[in-house]
Amino acid sequence: MYIEGKNAIREAFENNLTINKVMVDKSYQGRKDEIINLAVAHKVKFEFVPRVVLDKKSKTGHHQGYIAESVDFNYSSIEDIMKKSQEKGKKAFIVLLDGIEDPHNFGAIIRSCECAGVDGIIIPKNRACQVNETVIRTSTGAIANMPIAKVTNLKDAISYLKDNGVFVFACEANGKEIYSQNLNIDVALIIGSEGFGVKKSIIEHCDGVLALPLNGKVNSLNASVACGIVVFEVVRQRLN
């Protein structure tokens, strides 16, 4: 797996992700370089290559002259996420994604969740975006601090969370206004896909449905924007 861009690679080093090699634009040779210094400090091999080589390897088209070769992403388990929550000594705070397919949305969601202090993200194994180079880059390093569990069945994941005292809410239109719901509890929020929202079969397993009030003529928000708003509503309530 490739990690592209200066910021993403810096975050990977700072969070001790396993990096096998760093490729740097040949034109940068001879100048003081933060990424090269980090590679040296972590005893990671680096090499200068023509920019055309980076362009060919890049999956995002925004490598900024740096591409790191890393091991494949190490997914967590739901049990790991719950354990992390318990170790923090705070109420559980989890996000589930039901069919998010756009890697840019996925990466932006990871970034918002990390900033909000979410304990972990749960995604389905099939028919959804998995962690890839674009997701890593879009998260701008946040993925290094965000456990992500990949499950075969979201319904089973919901049942597990409920059995462990976590209240699960789908974020969908025509639900209860989120600002009137007490979220200062062990909570998991489900964000639906870009085109279809949370599936009815998933909603049926939830403790309720929460909605954002929309006052414009457009009746829906981008999935990553909606996620950012709802997770920070949890943060707001827990600060009061």
User: In the structure encoding, which two tokens stand for residue 123, read together?
Assistant: 């995604």
User: In the structure encoding, which two tokens stand for residue 94, read together?
Assistant: 């989890």
Q: Are residues 216 and 126 in the same domain?
A: yes
Domain stop point among 70, 88, 116: 70
How buried is 59 (Cβ within 10 angstroms: 0-12 exposed, 13-18 middle, 19+ buried)?
middle
pLDDT tens digits, one per residue of 96-140: 999 999 999 999 999 999 999 999 999 998 888 988 888 888 888
Number of domains in the chain: 2
Q: Are residues 21 and 49 in the same domain?
A: yes
Q: How many helices (H) and strands (E) does the chain have?
A: 9, 10
CATH of the domain at 157: 3.40.1280.10
Q: Are residues 120 and 189 in the same domain?
A: yes
Backbone φ and ψ for 239, nearest 5 degrees, come out as -85, -20
CA distance 94 to 81: 8
Q: Are residues 135 and 192 in the same domain?
A: yes
Alpha carbon of 24 to those of 45, 132, 179, 231: distances in Å?
A: 11, 21, 48, 37
Q: Are residues 124 and 9 in the same domain?
A: no
Q: Are residues 132 and 179 in the same domain?
A: yes
Averaged pLDDT for residues 35-56: 93
* CB contact at 8 A, 91 and 235: no
CATH of the domain at 11: 3.30.1330.30
pLDDT value of residue 186: 97
pLDDT value of residue 114: 96
pLDDT tens digits, one per residue of 47-104: 999 999 999 999 888 899 999 988 778 899 999 999 988 888 889 999 999 999 999 9
CA atoms within 13 A on the CB side of 208: 13
Domain stop point among 70, 88, 106: 70
Q: Are residues 187 and 234 in the same domain?
A: yes
User: In the structure encoding, which two tokens stand for residue 236, read together?
Assistant: 């707001």
CA distance 106 to 135: 6
Q: Are residues 184 and 217 in the same domain?
A: yes
Residue from 194, 188, 133, 200 nearest 158 by CA: 188
Domain that holds residue 99: 78-239
Q: Are residues 87 and 66 in the same domain?
A: no
Q: Are residues 108 and 126 in the same domain?
A: yes
Residue with tokens 């639900």: 175
Handedness of CA 21, 75, 140, 192 (dihedral sign): positive
Q: Are residues 110 and 216 in the same domain?
A: yes
CA distance 15 to 45: 18
* Bridge partner list, 211: 177
pLDDT tens digits, one per residue of 141-199: 888 889 999 999 999 999 999 999 999 999 998 899 999 999 999 999 999 987 889 99
With a CB cutoff of 8 Å and minimum separation 6, the contacts of 52 are: none
Q: Are residues 101 and 169 in the same domain?
A: yes
